[in-house]
Amino acid sequence: MPTKPAGTLYRGREGMWSWVGHRITGVVIFFFLLVHVLDTSLVRVSPEAYTAVIGTYKNPLMALGETGLVAAIVFHAFNGLRIIAVDFWKKGAKYQRQMLWTVLGLWVVVMVGFSIRHLSLAFGGH
Amino acid sequence: MTATIQSPRSGKIQPKYRRNGGSKGNFEMLAWLFMRLSGVVLVVLIFGHLTVNLLVGEGIHAINFGFVAGKWADPFWQFWDLAMLWLAMLHGTNGVRTIINDYAEKNATRLWLKIVLYAATTVIIVLGTLVIFTFNPCPVANGVQLPGGFCPAP
Ligand code: HEM
Query: The CATH number of the domain where B101 resides is what?
Result: 1.20.1300.10
What is the tens place of the pLDDT at every residue in B14-34? 777 776 665 567 899 999 999
Give CA angle at A107 (A9, B78), nearest 5°: 120
Domain total in chain B:
1
Domain locations in chain A as residue ranges = 17-124
Residues contacting A66, CB < 8 A, separation 6+: A57, A118, B54, B60
- Partners of B142 on chain A (C-beta within 8 Å) are none
Position B101 in a domain? yes
What is the domain extent for residue B43? 26-136
Q: Which residue has the higher pLDDT, B8 or B132?
A: B132
Q: Which residue has the higher pLDDT, B144 or B54?
A: B54
Residues contacting B143, CB < 8 A, separation 6+: none
Percent of residues, chain B, with pLDDT higher than 90: 67
Position B153 in a domain? no
Which residue of B47, B95, B131 is in closest CB contact with A44? B131
Residue nearest to atom 38 of ligand 1 (CA): A23
Q: Are B150 and B137 in contact (CB under 8 A)?
A: yes
Position B64 in a domain? yes
pLDDT surpassing 70 at residue A7: no
Position B45 in a domain? yes
pLDDT surpassing 80 at residue A99: yes
The domain defined by A17-124 carries CATH number 1.25.10: no
pLDDT surpassing 70 at residue B133: yes
Record the pTM: 0.90
Which residue of A50, A73, A84 is in closest CB contact with B36? A84
What is the ipTM metric for this complex?
A: 0.91
Position B149 in a domain? no
What is the tens place of the pLDDT at every residue in A22-70? 999 999 999 999 999 999 999 999 999 999 999 998 888 999 999 999 9
Q: Which residues line the pocket of ligand 1, CB cutoff 6 A?
A: A 22-23, 26-27, 29-30, 33, 76-77, 80-81, 83-84; B 32, 35-36, 39, 42-43, 46, 88, 91-92, 95-96, 98-99
What mean pLDDT value characterizes chain B? 90
